[in-house]
Amino acid sequence: MRLYLIRHGRQSSKLCNLDVDLSEAGYSQASLLGQRLAGAGIQVVYSSETRRAIQTAQAANYYWRVNHYLYPELREISFGEMEGLSEQEIALRFSDVREDMEKMEYDLAYPGGECAGDVVRRVIPVFREIMETGYERVAIVTHGGVIRSMVAYYMNMDLAKWRLLGKDLENCSITELLSRPVAGPRGQVGHEGGVDQPQQAGDDDVPARRQHRVVALEDLLEQGVDAGAQTGGDDAGDQGHEDVAEGLEHALDLVVLLGRLEVGLVGLPVSA
């Protein structure tokens, strides 16, 4: 099964997390998204109940013509007291909060809102339900905070550091989750979902992590250099190194094997 996690199109307001319509640019992005995945064999689309997510799904689904279902659990992370404020107001009123969050020592909730662990708790049951439907190609139109939190969870990252992923996650970008059998130790194929690991301190009630194998950054960089050497010499190799390094910073092209779940972070703008 392939899950395409899609961030909604650009919205018509720059105020924090208001439930507003897409902008004209957002509709264009959603249309390009639909065209981009027109040949992907999308069988069903899910979205949150926010207007920007619904409208993105509807505009893209013009090219897919599949059933569209709403899940309120796919809504954006709650920014609490920051919601409805401008970036300038947030910077002025919550400078101390932002400073604490930027330290990434704890999975801190926004004042009156949610943390990454809260997002994981409400989204994991939805993902599990979707993965049991039997569909092979699924589009999920959701939000940046949801995508970044869930990828951090599946990568077994400390959820305090979820903001490291997808700093520039573009509207209507695509993050792919690929579910398939993966051989475990000594060639054994693990049970679905892998083996539960102990939860980390501070992760109370967060679903237990799964045993997984991470492709190290050094391996990816080495692969980039090798690929460059095969296709264009040292200059191409250096470019491969830079591309992969940039990919890590922006949650692009990093691969994680997670029991039966392979996570490929694409996150490329549809205009690319």
DSSP class per residue in 112-155: TS--HHHHHHHHHHHHHHHHTS--SEEEEEE-HHHHHHHHHHHT
Give the per-residue pLDDT at 203.
Answer: 52
Dist CA 263 CA 260 (whole Å):
10
- 175-219: pLDDT as tens digits: 888 776 544 443 333 223 322 233 333 455 666 543 333 333 333
Dist CA 241 CA 218 (whole Å):
10
Question: What's the start-to-end Cα distance of the chain, in Å?
Answer: 25
Q: Mean pLDDT, to the nearest integer, of 77-88? A: 97
Q: Mean pLDDT, to the nearest integer, of 143-151? A: 94
Dist CA 229 CA 235 (whole Å):
8
Q: Helices then strands (H, E): number in the chain? A: 7, 8
Task: Give the length of the chain.
Answer: 272
| pLDDT of 271 strictly over 80 | no
Strands 261-264 and 255-258: antiparallel
Helix H or strand E encompassing 49: none
The pLDDT confidence band at residue 262, using thresholds 50, 70 and 90, is very low
Give 66-111 as a 3 state SS string: CEEEECHHHCCCCCHHHCCCCHHHHHHHCHHHHHHHHHCCCCCCCC
The pLDDT confidence band at residue 235, using thresholds 50, 70 and 90, is very low
Query: Residue 62 — φ and ψ, nearest 5°?
Result: -55, -30
Give the per-residue pLDDT at 204.
Answer: 56
| pLDDT of 4 strictly over 60 | yes
| pLDDT of 93 strictly over 60 | yes
6 near 143, Cβ under 8 Å? no
65 burial via Cβ count (<10 Å: 0-12, 13-18, 19+): exposed
Query: Residue 251 — φ and ψ, nearest 5°?
Result: 60, 45
